[in-house]
Structure 1
Amino acid sequence: MKIRIFMGGLVLALSTFTLNGDKVSAEELTVATFIPPQHHINKNLFGWFGKEIAKRSGGSLTMKLFPSGQLGAGPVQQYKRVVEGVADITFGVSAYTAAIFPKTMLTIPPGKSTTAKESTDRLWRVFDKYMADEYKQVKALGVFTVAGSLVASTKDISTMKGLKGTKLVPYAAMTTPIIKAMGAVPVQMPVTKMYTGLSTGTIDATYASYNNITPPWNFWDVSKYVVGNIPVQFAATYVAMNKERYDGLSAAHRKIIDDLSGKTMSDQGSATFDGADRRSEAMMKKSPKMKKLSWVQVSSAERAKMDAAVKKGLEAIFADYSKRGIKNAREIYNALNQ
């Protein structure tokens, strides 16, 4: 039995292996992300996935990770890359191809959830009924969220007055009516450009997770304020597999993928995001870097005004969905927030 070792991969690849009495050809799956190697999604989520498929297959199914856009630069094309087979598996952000995932996007506006776990749990309660058809071009391995519970900014936006005219990056363009109702000016920008946007003044503020403030994103280097107690937005993310690549695997290998997919991988993803936020929050409380920033909380009175703006913005979002032929957007949003 031949063994090849990939220094950039996570596991060993075996030429052939006998699994449950059946001879199975060795398979190595390519995984493409746009995030840096040290990002927790690469280390934790795909670290877990790589170990699990190797263990469950006896080493005949492995993966090799290509971080930082090594199989194609930029996060916007991640879905196209997996559909076209540039990579076997990709990690992407739904908002970057919003037209493909309009119903999934309804997880993004503020609602009852405050953490990635809460939001992801609610998503999967209704996924099969409302959203599964958006993933017909691929094998959906996981769909999960990250909580944008902070705003990183170069000005104090903890009041509606402070928000007025602020160039603010939301988690998705579809929340534009909410941002406008708050008095801010929505600016669309991928997370990979936000550091530069804050440092150059292209934007004044951006929705952020705790992990965005600290490494590897380091928004604390280019911000003057970190604002909490805001209406929480969520970024919807996915892990997708090329459908032909999945169909071409052996039945034994497909079963391993199936057993790790859906809510199982999504729980791992949301836990990875929440865990990173907890670590970053603890780091922020201790780091001398935070002494250069003002960490402020929106007051109850101002939060009530922001929540009212959210409700107003949601009505505009539902009306826009209806014009685009999605008549049940309100129903989906309400189901996500039961």
Structure 2
Amino acid sequence: MKMKSMFTTAVVAALVSGTAMAQEVTLRIQTHYATEHPTGQRLAEFIDDVQVMSGGEIAIEMFYSSSVVATTETFDAAINGILDCDATGGAYQTGKNPAFQFVGDIMGGYDTAWQQYSWLYHGGGYEAAQNLYNAQNMQLIGWSIYGQESLSSSKPIAGFEDLKGWKFRSPPGLETEIFEGMGASPIVMDFTEIFTALETGIIDGADASGLANNVGLGIYDIVKHATYPGFHSMPSDHLACNLDIWNGLSEKHRRIIDTAWQKLSFQIALYNEKANTEAAAALQEQGVTLYDWSPEDRATFRKTAQEAWEVWADKNEETRALVESHKAYLKQLGLVN
């Protein structure tokens, strides 16, 4: 009995020791979202899923609200080992390579988050994008897409003709080129300047975020017109990790992280679809007019957008490869001729 007890004690000690050794994988990840933001809340669930599925073998230290480095510097911080992974978005890296536009915000492309996800997983997108990330010694793990953004306006924005002369806050880059091509007057300004600019009439409207997020920001306390469902912009946030760190993980750990991220992606798209639908109903009751653009006007926008795509595609081989991949898949889906 004594020898049996000693044997049992030795086995337990070995198991405890092995478990302790297995708990040494810690990933440092930064996101630009706050803990209370819906995406921040989904990220907390992702962390819990990874920890539970790995049996405590993987720990994640999440830095919310870009608390380590500026949002635009997160990618480089992961490349240089200050962080292990970046949970912001590829669109912040167009200065590094313009091809990142077409993994960050494929403007005038897909109608729904599900179509855009399907390019990544079933349209050859993951392989095409991975070449871009690997060239920076990074690995793309996956996307999270909250859906189409809505344009907000102080005057009707019912279709293509209403864009002519329309002054609105725009992010820099591809979007300004597309809207200028349609006769609008995009004004690049910081997100924090939107409200004062709307109140003082410096701008007629703004490209800020999705409908529900715009409600939370208080935009419709100022303006009473919006596009919904949106059509112009559907950003993809990403999880991207330092390639050496990623390759250093076991296959088991890589699969756990990938699976947990795909769950997060699914939940973010579902949550925002529900939130936007509820926001649309509430806003209409409050007197906000929502405009669902006609198929003809949507086609006009997509055509203008893809003319701008071609200009970007000529910047380098990587951008051309991604543009051609999107065009081929959009044709497969019947979204372009």
TM-score class, shorter-chain normalisation, is 0.7 to 0.9
2:74–2:88: 8 Å Cα contact kept in structure 1? yes
Q: Aligned in 2, Cα 1:322/1:259: closer, same or farther, shift over 3 Å?
A: same
1:64 is aligned to 2:64: no
Distance 1:23 1:330 in 2: 45
- Residue 327 of structure 2 aligns to a residue whose secondary structure is helix
Looking at secondary structure, tell me which structure has more helix per residue.
Answer: 2
Structure 2 residue 321 is matched with structure 1 residue 332: no
Higher radius of gyration, 1 or 2: 2
The answer for the alignment partner of 1:11 in structure 2 is none
Contact 1:93–1:236 at 8 Å: present in 2 too?
Answer: yes
Q: 1:266-305 to 2 correspondence within 5 Å?
A: 266=262, 268-286=264-282, 291=286, 294-298=288-292, 300=294, 304-305=296-297
Distance in 2 between residues matched to 1:170 and 1:120, nearest whole Å? 25
How much has 1:205 moved relative to structure 2? 1.8
Whole-angstrom distance in 2 between the partners of 1:220 and 1:334: 35
Count of residues in Structure 1 that have an aligned counterpart in Structure 2: 309
Runs of 5+ unmatched residues, structure 2: 1-15, 333-337
Is the CA contact (8 Å cut-off) linking 1:116 and 1:270 kept in structure 2? no
- The alignment status of 1:98 with 2:94, answered yes or no, reads yes
Matched with 2:50 is 53
Counterparts in 2 of 1:83 and 1:309: CA distance versus 1, 3 Å: same
Instruction: Tell me the CA shift for residue 84 of structure 1.
Output: 2.3
1:80 and 1:67 map into 2 onto residues whose CA distance is 17
Deviation of 1:157 after TM superposition, in Å, equals 2.1
Distance 2:315 2:283 in 1: 48
Q: Which amino acid in 2 is paired with 1:210?
A: L
TM-score (norm 2): 0.77
- For residues 200 and 110 of structure 1, the distance between their equivalents in structure 2, rounded to whole angstroms, comes to 30
Structure 2 residue 133 is the aligned partner of structure 1 residue 135: yes
Amino acid at match of 2:27: L
Indicate the SS of the match to 2:151.
strand
Match of 2:8 in 1: none
Alignment of 1:238-277 (within 5 A): 238-247=238-247, 249=249, 251=250, 255-261=252-258, 265-266=261-262, 268-277=264-273
Asked whether 1:315 is paired with 2:314, we answer: no
- Indicate the larger mover: 128-137 or 273-282: 273-282
Structure 1 gap ranges (5+): 1-15
Paired residue secondary structure (1:208): coil
Q: Take 1:206 and 1:93, find their aligned partners in 2: how far apart are those partners?
A: 17
Using the alignment, how far apart are the partners of 1:101 and 1:266 within structure 2?
A: 26
Give the secondary-structure state (helix, strand or coil) at the position aligned to 1:87: coil
Give the 3-state SS of the residue equivalent to 1:114 in structure 2. Answer: coil
1:1-338 pair list within 5 angstroms: 18=18, 23-44=21-42, 46-73=43-70, 75-100=71-96, 102-103=98-99, 105-106=101-102, 108-111=106-109, 113-125=110-122, 126-136=124-134, 137-169=137-169, 173-189=173-189, 194=194, 198-199=198-199, 201=201, 203=203, 204-206=205-207, 208-215=209-216, 217-247=217-247, 249=249, 251=250, 255-261=252-258, 265-266=261-262, 268-286=264-282, 291=286, 294-298=288-292, 300=294, 304-325=296-317, 326-328=319-321, 330-337=323-330, 338=332
Task: Provide the rounded CA distance (Å) in 2 between the counterparts of 1:194 and 1:85.
Answer: 35
The code of the aligned residue for 1:163 comes to L
Identity over aligned residues, as a percent?
A: 19
Q: For the residues of structure 2 that align with 1:246 and 1:299, how far apart are their CA atoms?
A: 43
Q: Distance in 2 between matches of 1:270 and 1:198?
A: 34
- AA in 2 matched with 1:18: G
Query: One-letter code of the match for 2:291?
Result: Q
Q: Which amino acid aligns with 1:59?
A: G
> Alpha carbons of 1:299 and 1:127: their partners in 2 closer, same or farther (altered >3 Å)?
closer
Output the amino acid matched with 1:205: A
Deviation at 1:132, TM superposition (A): 0.9
Work out the CA distance in 2 between the residues paired with 1:201 and 1:225: 15
Contact (CA 8 Å) 1:153, 1:206: kept in 2 or not?
A: no
Give me the whole-angstrom Cα distance separating, in 2, the residues matched to 1:307 and 1:321. 20
Question: Contact 1:154–1:224 at 8 Å: present in 2 too?
Answer: yes
1:38-61 per-position Cα deviation (integer Å, ceiling 9, x unaligned)? 1122211x2232122211332232
In structure 1, C-alpha distance between the alignment counterparts of 2:254 and 2:178, rounded to whole Å: 38
RMSD: 3.2
User: Per the alignment, do residues 181 and 206 of structure 1 end up closer, same or farther by CA in structure 2, a change over 3 Å counting?
Assistant: same
